[in-house]
Structure 1
Amino acid sequence: MRRRFTFLHNPGEHDLAQSPEAMLSRYRGPLCIKVDGEDRSRCRALVTLLHGNEPSGLHAIWHWLRSAERPAVNLLLMIASVSAALCEPLFSHRMLPRARDLNRCFRPPFEDEQGRLAEEILTLLELHDPEAVVDMHNTSGRGPDFAVVAFDDPFHDAIAAFFTHRLVVCSLGLGALMESSSDTRPIVTVEVGGCEDPRADTIALAGLQRFAQAPRISPQHGNATPLEKLDAPLRLELRDGVTLTYADTPQRGHDVTLNPVIEHHNFGTVTVNTPLGWSDADPRQLFQARDASGLCAVRQLVQVIDGVLYPAQTLILFMITTHAGIAESDCLFYAVSADGSPISGTGPVGI
């Protein structure tokens, strides 16, 4: 198998270049950096830049490496979608044109370039056998930091608590890296905030420092603040062929217009009186959402009244995006009930 990663071991100042962007330009492809720890019998890993437009993890790695701190255990740092990040303008491309979303490629078959890169990441994790893995992202819209796990147990919680006090428990079978988590190799996705929010870089670096320096990972060594948990959220997705735009008034020629201020509701509560946007169609013709049993839950999420799109009940929304391309290829937002519990559908998926 052709090796895609360039490997650096205990890199010095010259290896890191003068900036994170200069470092990417020097190596041009995926980077795997190993830093020896005080205890070389154990390892932890951080994977980032799976999406080329989410640079906070890269910035955190670069600044942490420049500090020359020695981690408690060996630390493996992987920077993945370098080619996408380097597409002009820098950090504007989630992936290369016509390429698959890398964070949907961590399950076979690994037949295209993105799949083979995902397979190589999994192979490196298998080889180094880290006791904990963090997959660091920026959110696609404005919003606070949070973590996502496919499995809810005290060890996953402890890893998440190095970075945030919000935890989403979610296993949707999308092919994300976190879905490769296991009892012996727990993987936690961390969303540090929007890429245009300077606080995201601060949260990323502070979390990496705590993750790297902790002698042990246990519930006692994480954040002392109890985690706020949201369980089994639903994804509201567009149906094929449905057109979407964002504006502060309904737009002719589009099936759905969402108000750009919708992202202000990230991790907030919306009620049946909260306008989200506009449409004249039946929501089941526009959207799809499946609960854990595969039942359609669109009517439990949204409703249209006199051309205005509202929540169908009081909900907590998060991962709201105002990027139409991401909404079309991924989802508009995730939702749980007002108390953080799952929502159940009531009918078949088809209209």
Structure 2
Amino acid sequence: MDNRDEVREFLMSRRAKTSPTEAGLPAGTNRRVPGLRRSEVAMLAGVSVEYYSRLERGAISGASSSVLDAISRALQFDDAETAHQDLLAMNALGRVFYAPVVGDGGRTPDRDGTVTQGGYSTHVVVDEDFVLRVPESIPYEAAAPLLCAGITTYSPLRHWGAAPGKKVAVVGMGGLGHLAVKLAHAMGAHVTVLSQTLGKKDDGLRFGADDYFATSDPQTFETLANTFDLILNTVSSAELDFDAYLSLLRLDGSFVNVGAPAEPVSFQVFTLFGNRRSFGGSGIGSIAETQEMLDFCAENGIATEVEVISADQINDAYERVLRSDVRYRFVIDTTSLGGAAS
């Protein structure tokens, strides 16, 4: 994506508003430019004047994260400005897989300098390269979580080869897990759910699972040893017995995390040696892959299981999420946001 004009305007405007005094430099006399000179920014960032000048001309594609961090410090960016620069760099590569999280809850400056409203926007103007077409057969309330949980599970299932003849296990039967079951089944894989209890077994089988096991039963791990080509872990817990789950992989099998525990996880590396197992992770997917996922869901009749709530139910819904009392995604009716604000 050619966003050189936007990069140039952003960096020049930030350089102009940063004074030498603020940057810890002598103000001097006979300054022709407001703010810092390019040479001063380059010195503060530890890069050559030629390199910084090239960045300011818009050639930000390929700049390393360490260089971008150095520019942020030199120009004294706040969290939103730093996130916006990172987003410009990703846009220049044509790859926007995530929205950077910043201090005010993930909102980054829009093209006109205003702060975006994120998922709570009622209207949005967006570059056509980042627009998705929602097939008519998918209701909007069911499509919304597909843009998060759907692509989060679709991408690794495709990448690690879920297909006929493959055995796929899904750990967890929540918002991510129930979609993983539907998607893996539609891809033709033999699907097994590994859940702490059998409480959602009927749902799992209805969504397409061929087998359903309770991981609270130690016999499960003996029965399923050396079974799966792919295990997709949707649970965000560092307390899982990862060695036990890894033992369920057959030769060249992969254990892939889409759940994101806040604490470090641990397992014995030697567990990987047996059967040449792999341990990996996946975050989300590209715009092109997200469109592919939406089309795949439409073709196979896949939609998220949702409960639509109004804005005044958000706090109660959050408490229910903490109690795991949702099947399987809450969706906020944005037409109710105005009423909640008033």
TM-score normalized by the length of structure 2: 0.23
Larger Rg: 2
Hey, which of these two has a bigger chunk of helix by percent?
Answer: 2
